[in-house]
């Protein structure tokens, strides 16, 4: 993963989850392991990712994601260099 993409994704996650520890970030991080993860914050994360990367993900795109790697896959599908 590109360093800039990593930092931008950490920023998006941190903007939604106050208790997120960036030191725990990895592609294999399970989204459900992020403190305060729930479906509403999943929607908020999708909006934060869309804003950070200037992309529009399909409705409920993050609903089927379990890991950071899944978000990267969605971004790659939108033409973002990951």
pLDDT digits (tens, 9 = 90+) for 2-30: 999 999 999 999 999 999 999 999 999 99
**What are the CA-CA distances from residue 74 to residues 4, 19, 39, 66, 69 (Å)?**
17, 24, 18, 12, 9
Q: State how far the Cα of 75 lies from the Cα of 79, in Å rounded to an integer.
A: 7
Q: State how far the Cα of 75 lies from the Cα of 69, in Å rounded to an integer.
A: 10
Query: How confident is the model at residue 72, as a pLDDT?
Result: 93
Which 8-state DSSP code applies to residue 57?
A: P
Average pLDDT, the chain: 92
Tell me: the pLDDT tens digits for 55-82?
Answer: 998 866 777 889 999 999 999 989 999 8
Distance of CA 66 to the CA centre of its chain: 10
Domains of the chain: 3-77 (1.10.1200.10)
């Amino acid at each position: 993963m590109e360093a800039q993409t990593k930092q931008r994704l950490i920023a998006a996650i941190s903007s939604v989850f106050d208790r997120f520890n960036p030191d725990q970030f990895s592609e294999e991080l399970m989204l459900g392991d992020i403190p305060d993860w729930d479906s509403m914050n999943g929607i908020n994360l999708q909006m934060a990712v869309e804003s950070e990367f200037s992309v529009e993900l399909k409705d409920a795109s993050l609903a089927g994601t379990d890991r950071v790697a899944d978000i990267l896959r969605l971004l790659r599908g939108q033409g973002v260099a990951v």
